[in-house]
Amino acid sequence: MSLDDKLTRVAVLGAAGKMGSGITLLLAQQMALAKLQPQNKGRYYRLDAIDVSDQALDGLMRYIREQSQKSAEKMTVIVRDLYKDRSDLVENSEIINEYVNEVVSVIRPASDIGQAKGAKLIFEAVLEKLDLKVSLIRKMKELCPDAYFFSNTSSIPIAEMDRQVGLNGKIIGYHFYNPPAVQKLVEVISNDKTDAHLKELAAELGKLLRKKLIPSNDIAGFIGNGHFIRDGLHALEAVSRLAPDFTEPGAVYAVNKVSQDLLIRPMGIFQLLDYVGIEVFQWIIDVMNKYIPGETMHHDLLERMIAKGILGGQRPDGSQKDGFLKYEKNRPAGVYDLGTGSYLPLSDEAWAKGIEARLGSYPSSLKPWKALVADPNKEAFFATYFQELKQTRSLAAELALAYAQKSKAIGQKLVADGVAASADDVNGVLLNGFFHVYGPINDYVS
C-alpha cells in the first residue's frame, strides 16, 4: 500500500503536547492538500488526534486553526489554485477560510485511544518514558494490527520498543525537532530489523513535508541528544571547576555567556537546557546510561535543581519557564542560586559586569550569531576567528576553546561508535536541528 493510501487514516498519540501538536498540524495540512486534489475527490481522510486531556485537545484545535490560517495567508496563490473550480469562492479571505476548515475537518480529537482503531500510520509523540510508550503502542497494535509506527523518541532505542511490543520491524524513529512545524530537521532512526517498506514510506513522507532527513543508527540518544547531552554535561563540569572562585550561579552565568558569545550559538548552553527542560535532560541521561555500556553520565547539579522543583521547560503557549535562568519576555533576566532559593538579577550590573570582567577580553573579529546565519563567507570568517581566539589570552577564550574541542571530540566519537554514518551527518544535525552556524567536527579547532 502506497503512502497516499496510508495517509487517509492516521493517528497521533500525544497530539496536544508540545511536539504532538506540531506533528498533528503538519499531517493534517498534508492530508487536506491531498484531499483537495482532483484525483482524490470523494476520498475519506481522517486524523485521530489522541491525548489524555480534553482541555488540551481544545487548545490543539485552536492552534491548528490559527496556524493553518497563517500558512494559507503565506501561500494564497497555491490555495486559490486548489479552489479554482469553486465559483462561490471569490475573495482571498473566503478561500483561506475554506482551506482552514478543510484542515480542521480531517481531525478527530479524542481522549479515548479506541477511536483510532483502523489507523494505517501511527505517530507517537508522548513523554520520553519507555513504559508509557510501550503501553500505548501495544494498545494501538491490537487496534491496528497492520499499521506502521513512527516514534518521536529522542533517545529510547527503537529496537527496545519493537522487542517489547513485538512489531517485527514495523516501527521507525522519526524524531522531529521543536517546533515541528518550523524546524526542517527530522532524525530518522532505524536498525537492521526495520521494515524496508517502512523506510521507503519514511523517506517519501519527509519529501512531502519538506523536511531534511538525516539518518541515525539505533543507539540511545542518537545523533542529536548523543551530542547535546554530553555537550551539556561538559558545561556542568565547567561550572563545577569555576564555582569555588565564581560561586555556582556566577559560574553558570559565565559558562552560559561564553557558550553563546564565543562559540557563536543562538543561545547559551544553560538557556538551551532550560528550553528543553532540566527534568527532560535528566530523563534522557537516564535512558542513555541504561543502554550505553561503559559510560556513566551524571551531574549532581541537575539532581539538586530537580529536587528544588526548578525544572525549566515551556508552557503550553510557548513561553519559557524559569530554570537555571529566570526569564522575562523569554529573555534571560537572572541566574538561580540554589543556596538562597532565589534568582540573582542580571540587572544587578555590579554582579554581572564583575563576572564578565573576570572572563576577560574577546577576539576583536567576533561577530554575533545573527550576523553569520546567512553570511555566504562565514567559513572564511571562522578560519580567521578561531585563529584569533587561540591567540587571545583570557579566561573566556580558554573556556571557549576547551568547549569547542570537547564538542568536536563528542562528534567524532558519535561517528567512531557507529551512531552517525559520517561527520557530515553529525554536523547536519547540529546545523539544522540546533541552528549552529558551524558543525562541531571542523578544522577550526585542533
- Tell me how far apart the alpha carbons of residues 166 and 337 are, in angstroms, rounded to a whole number: 47
Q: For cell 485521530, what's the residue?
A: 48
The answer to whether residues 132 and 276 belong to one domain is: no
Q: Does any domain span residue 446? A: no
The answer to whether residues 114 and 178 belong to one domain is: yes
List, for residues 11-61, the tens digit of each pLDDT value. 999 999 999 999 999 999 999 999 989 898 889 999 999 999 999 999 999
Average pLDDT for 320-337: 96
**Amino acid found at 323:** G
Backbone conformation region of residue 318, classed left if phi is above 0, alpha if psi is from -120 to 50, else beta: left
Domain boundary pick from 217, 233, 267: 217
Question: Contact 439/430 with Cβ under 8 angstroms?
Answer: yes
Reported confidence tier of residue 349, pLDDT bands at 50, 70, 90: confident
- What angle in degrees, to the nearest 10, is found between the helix axes of 278-291 and 269-276? 90
- Using only C-alpha atoms, the chain has a radius of gyration, in whole angstroms, of 23
Instruction: Please say if the pLDDT value at position 116 is more than 80.
Output: yes
Give the CATH number for residue 189: 3.40.50.720
Q: Does any domain span residue 260? A: yes
Domains in the chain: how many in total?
2
pLDDT over 70 for what percent of the chain?
Answer: 100
Reported confidence tier of residue 95, pLDDT bands at 50, 70, 90: confident
The answer to whether residues 184 and 255 belong to one domain is: no
What count of other Cβ atoms lies within 10 Å of the Cβ of residue 341? 9
Give the CATH number for residue 326: 1.10.1040.10
Closest Cα partner for 171 from 143, 214, 126, 140? Answer: 140
Task: Kindly give, in sequence order, each residue whose CB lies less than 8 Å from that of residue 209, ignoring residues fewer than 6 positions away.
Answer: 26, 30, 186
The answer to whether residues 266 and 345 belong to one domain is: yes
pLDDT over 90 for what percent of the chain?
Answer: 89
List, for residues 175-200, the tens digit of each pLDDT value. 999 999 999 999 999 999 999 999 99
The answer to whether residues 213 and 228 belong to one domain is: no
Beta strands in 219-265 (DSSP E): none
Domain that holds residue 323: 224-433
Q: Does any domain span residue 444? A: no
The answer to whether residues 249 and 184 belong to one domain is: no
- What pTM, to 2 d.p., does this model score? 0.94
In degrees and rounded to multiples of 5, residue 148 shows phi and psi of -105, 145
Residue 182 burial by CB count (10 A; 0-12/13-18/19+): exposed, middle or buried? exposed
Q: Does any domain span residue 441? A: no
**How far is the CA of 121 from the CAs of 1, 9, 210, 386, in angstroms?**
11, 7, 18, 47
List, for residues 301-325, the tens digit of each pLDDT value. 999 999 999 999 988 778 999 999 9
The answer to whether residues 192 and 319 belong to one domain is: no
